[in-house]
Amino acid sequence: MGKVKVSIMNNQTEVKVPVGIRLLIRKCCHAVTESEKFQGDSEVSVSFVNDERIHELNKEYRDVDRPTDVLSFPMGENGEYDLNNETGAYILGDIVISLETALKQASAYGHSLEREIGFLTVHSMLHLLGYDHEQDSLHERIMREKEEEILESLGISRDATFVIDEHAHE
């Protein structure tokens, strides 16, 4: 298994980024590539935005005129990815998360913002690796099962309580 380089940018001011969230995202990205037995080093970029920005992106790229929780912009097709010649890593793509929507959903589902961001990251990483739940109900079920399996391996499944280690270094 290769390493995953995760670039994380905070492009919003509405929601404070919780301590430890960058480490959680990196762990989620690594867990997905490991679970999927992705060969070679890879790169992914994750951006935090507000609802207004994700609404614009959703309208522009998906023709859906409303905010959403996460958008995935895969750089690969049929398991083929561009190679970053400087690093030798495969470029998986970009993940854009609305922290405003993630916070609302965490509250609505009765779990932590960390659990929600973990779920959105794993969900989006699976999209970057070619999964598509919008294809049909079978693909949706396969994707949901993989998501829960990966989240469970990280200790943030639906059934587990997620506790932040305040002393973790980012």
Q: Give tens-digit pLDDT for 109-159.
A: 989 999 999 999 999 999 999 998 777 888 889 999 999 999 999 988 766
Amino acid identity of residue 20, one-letter, is G
Q: Give 96's strand partners.
A: 47, 71
pLDDT at 139: 85
Local confidence band at 36 (pLDDT 50, 70, 90 cut-offs): very high
Q: Is 151 helix (H, G, I), strand (E, B) or coil?
A: helix
Task: List the structure tokens of 32.
Answer: 């997905």
Average pLDDT, the chain: 90
Residue 68, Cβ neighbours under 10 Å: how many?
16
CB-based contact 90:43 (threshold 8 Å): yes
- pTM assigned to the model: 0.89
Cα 10 to Cα 32: distance, rounded to the nearest angstrom: 22
- Considering the segment(s) 4-153 as one domain, its CATH architecture is 3-Layer(aba) Sandwich (3.40)
For residue 167, what pLDDT is reported?
40
- With beta carbons less than 8 A apart as the criterion, state whether 53 and 12 touch: yes
- Angle CA(137)–CA(141)–CA(142) in degrees, nearest 5? 120
Which residues, in sequence order, are bridge partners of residue 128?
none
